[in-house]
Structure 1
Amino acid sequence: MAVMRTFRTAVGLTGGRVLLWSLLGRLPAAMCPIGSLLLVTHESGSVWRGAAVAGVLAVGQGVGGPLVGRLADRRGQRPVGLAAAAVNTLAILALVAGSVLGLALPVQLPAAALIGVSVPLVGPLSRSRWVHLARGDRESTAAALSLDGTVDEISFTAGPAVIGLLAALANPAAGMLLAAALVGVCATLFALHPSASPGSPAAARSTTGLVNPPFALLLGGMALLGVCFGSVQVGVTATTEHLGHPGAAGLLYGLIGGVSSFAGVATAALPARVGLPLRLKGGTVLLLAASLLLPFADTMTALTVATGCLGAAVAPQMITMFGLAERTVPAERLGEAMAALVSSITLAQSAGTLAAGWAADHHGPAAPFLVTCTAAALALLLALTTATERRYRRRHTPAPPRPTATTAA
């Protein structure tokens, strides 16, 4: 009952329709990395070409995210969101066309980079939007971030699953075309919704540094979480193949996302006396404990249990760090801050994937999980030594009240 009441509070900030646009509009961000890999590999017959395109796309996401976030803070979510949605849609279509027509790799790479740079950032901007609409109310802010974290987990689980299903039933190009349609329609509707935050003159003239010490620590924590994501993905793939069940990898990814979604819902029910720094410490303890199970998972049952436990730590970690970021950065630059946190995960996930891939090739299928354990141990050390209420006390006044549009939803 407490969870439902908390989520009703969050939905009341905007209405239910914009949450639907938010979910569907952020699906392409989860679909395009794996979709581009499958598309280019299928059309060219070269895994290396597919990996090159997917890698360039990921780097574009990491670099472009904070830039789009800052523009949205300065110019407003509506014009920036509409422009990004239009460019992203055209870039996805260009990559599909280039792949199907068999154009040279140097022609496809710019399209992939543009897809990454122009992601409309529906996820980070929705978090910024909810925080603005909460007007500094701690309960509403916590409820909104918990709900958005659950939506994020659903999108990251459903996106690759949809791409994989369409690739199996039709062609990888179908999945990318669906991603283009979702961006063009749903990200556009999200940007047009009356709840979109207007630009802030304070953001345009702000000279306050975004990366203060507490926020830098959060970027580091998110990066370590990203390394865990990338290494677990490689480890699960290598282990299921070693155990003779390669098709189970996708199901285990889905399990991680599903458990994480439920954990995000449960986070909303935690009492206010359990502060965010304490939640961060508890979450990293769980993250390390679950990670330590992975190297010893030598059966499918053990691997399923270990990955399920890992999923229970993911959403609470992310929700908590987003909540701490809201305390530490200027309100007028919150969109940029949320985008920077997502970029930190994205770039670190790529690094974790590379490190885990090398480990798997040289030391066997369980070796990638040692990368996971190392990252989780560093995350716990970081949380235990730095996560205090004093360090993460509110440094900036909440954003001024903005008109809501619940009735328009």
Structure 2
Amino acid sequence: MSVAVKFRTAAQLTGGRVLLWSLLGRLPNAMSPIGTLLLVSRNTGSVWCGSLVAGALAGGQAVGGPVVGRLADRRGQRTVGLVTALVNAVALVALVAASQRGLALGWQIAPAALIGLSVPLVGPLSRSRWVRLAAGEPELTSSMLSLDGIVDEVGFTAGPALVGVLATAASPAVGLLTAAVLSGVCASLFALHPTASPGVPKSHARSAERLLSTPYVLLLAGMALLGACFGSVQVGITATTEALGRPGVAGLLYGFVGCTSSFAGIATTALPARWELPARLRAGTVLLFAASCVLLFADGSLVALTAAVGFLGVAVAPQMITMFGLVERTVPAARLGEAMAALVSALILAQSAGTFLGGWATDHFSPGAPFAVTSTAAATALLLAACTATDHRYRRRNAAPLPAAADAPNHPHEPAARTNTPSTQLG
């Protein structure tokens, strides 16, 4: 199915606007970390203080993500999504006010942690929503998840870029205030859209299966290794460009990684359905490992570094899209939002660990040493995929939609959302 056909199909399922709210509602999640780092670093004159406050935000998100996901699965996406969006917006404004007024660091760490704890989780809940709307149709589910992966990549690329532009044109405070508006308005509209999952009845929740299983734990490990690659590459790019005398190029290289990753995500959606997700996971980890090896020899030239990080970006989106797709096959439907959120938390925590290890390697060895951390994580991911990504572990389960989906309020777009459209009609 082509990307254009997928967009048309998504519009038929939801009425179209939910894709816009989904994209804009994700931007604050991508804008907040770098915006917090820039704001606090500039106002305090200390990068260490900025990193500490940004770390509190990341820690809050890693802890709060699965909790918010679980509440959304139980109570419904409307209530939980609306509350978290509004709290997140208020916390962003509070952080800007505390930092601009030069309050003690603790008064800046507290709202930053609350920003992380209250992230509306538009991405994970969107993927959960698509699975419910696809109503068990295998190809439709796969297509919508891959389309959501494209939206995720666009948000991942556009968020930091938007903060950078606003910080340059005005100030970092403007970037975070923009994130607050997007969270309060667009994430709220996403949460209130009639296609939002209504939650699981108590009787069904009691009988829900346990979340943790061997295949799911292996996916958590795979996503964590990808996060370690992210963190170490960021440090490696920063250290290497500084050593080459071009520190200002680091931001452009981060954006280049996002661009190549987005294009790879679009290309992934065009892969034939017969190429199953386990095979894609194995192929993706081979590509990730190959790109990480190229990075090891690219720290002596800016041109070589640019080519290497672009190659790495090509490996990122297929990995993420595939792992999110496999989660849908390995966890109970009643806990899908929680499972998606936990996967993101694993990515965030491991990214922080990769950043720490990359910084240690830079201090003790060389500017390019963080790329050795990247290669080690990629090699481990390759070994993990080769040993575990087999069809019998991640076979598609033809589970029926949740009973709660049938109890959702009637809406003009809902009948199309519950129709199992034949694959032959989807292009």
TM-score where L is the length of structure 2: 0.92
Q: How far apart, CA to CA, are the structure 2 residues paired with 1:268 and 1:221?
A: 21
Partner letter of residue 210 of structure 1? L
Is the contact made by 2:13 and 2:413 (CA closer than 8 Å) also made in structure 1?
Answer: no
Question: The residue matched to 1:12 in structure 2 has which SS?
Answer: helix
Whether the 8 Å contact between 2:10 and 2:16 is mirrored in structure 1 is no
Query: Secondary structure of the equivalent of 1:125?
Result: helix
Deviation at 1:245, TM superposition (A): 1.8
* Kept in 1: contact 2:59–2:116 (CA 8 A): yes
CA displacement 1:122-149 (0-9 Å, x = unmatched):
0100010011100111111111111111
Q: Tell me, in whole angstroms, the C-alpha distance in 2 between the residues paired with 1:106 and 1:260.
A: 37
In the alignment, does 2:190 pair up with 1:190?
A: yes
Secondary structure, aligned partner of 2:196: coil
Instruction: Please give the residue correspondences for 1:135-154 in structure 2 after superposition, counting only pairs within 5 Å.
Output: 135-154=135-154
Aligned to 2:392: 390
The one-letter code sitting in structure 2 at the alignment partner of 1:374 is T
Aligned to 1:236: 237
1:347 to 346, 349, 353: 349
Q: Residues 8-407 of structure 1 correspond to what in structure 2 (within 5 A)?
A: 8-201=8-201, 204-297=205-298, 298-395=300-397, 397-400=399-402, 402=406, 407=413
Where 1:247 maps in the other structure, the secondary structure is helix
Distance 1:251 1:195 in 2: 37
Determine if contact 2:84/2:120 at 8 Å carries over to the other structure.
yes
Instruction: Find the residue that maps to 1:195 and give its secondary structure.
Output: coil
- Preserved CA contact (<8 Å) 1:203 1:333: no
Shift of 1:56: 0.7
> CA 1:99–1:180 in structure 2 vs 1: closer, same or farther (change >3 Å)?
same
Deviations 1:236-282 (CA, angstroms, capped at 9, x unpaired): 11111222222211111111111111111111111121111000000
Q: Indicate the RMSD between aligned Cα atoms, in angstroms.
A: 1.7
8 Å contact 2:70–2:335 — kept in the other structure? yes
Which sits farther off after the overlay, 304-313 or 198-207? 198-207
Identical amino acids, percent of aligned pairs? 67
Alpha-carbon distance change, 39 to 196 in structure 1, aligned in 2, over 3 angstroms: same
SS at match of 2:296: helix
Which sections of structure 1, spanning at least 5 residues, go unmatched?
Answer: none
| Alignment deviations for residues 32-80 of structure 1 (CA, whole Å, 9 cap, x no partner) | 1111111111111122211110001101000100000000000000000
Give the deviation of 1:11 after TM superposition.
3.6
Q: Distance in 2 between matches of 1:275 and 1:407?
A: 30
**Aligned mates of 1:205, 1:308 — CA distance in 2:** 47
Deviation at 1:395, TM superposition (A): 4.9
> Any runs of at least 4 consecutive aligned residues in structure 1 with deviations exceeding 6 A, and if so which?
none
Question: How far apart, in 2, do the equivalents of 1:220 and 1:361 lie?
Answer: 27
Letter in 1 for 2:358: A
Equivalent-residue separation in structure 1 for 2:129 and 2:261 (angstroms): 23
Checking the alignment, whether the CA contact within 8 Å between 1:231 and 1:368 is kept in structure 2 is yes
* Deviation digits for residues 89-143 of structure 1 (CA, Å, limit 9, x no counterpart): 1111111111111111122211111100000000100010011100111111111
Shift of 1:293: 0.5
**Cα shift at 1:9:** 2.5
Cα distance change on mapping 1:2 and 1:181 into 2, 3 Å: closer
Contact 1:236 1:249 in 2 (8 A): yes
Offset at 1:206?
A: 4.1
CA distance in 1 between counterparts of 2:230 and 2:71 reads 28
Aligned pair count reads 409
- Structure 2: where are the runs of 5+ without partners? 418-427
> Would you say the 8 A contact 2:215–2:394 is kept in 1?
yes
Local SS of the residue matching 1:198: coil
1:154 to partner: Cα distance: 1.0
C-alpha separation in 1, matches of 2:156 and 2:207: 33
Shift of 1:5: 2.4
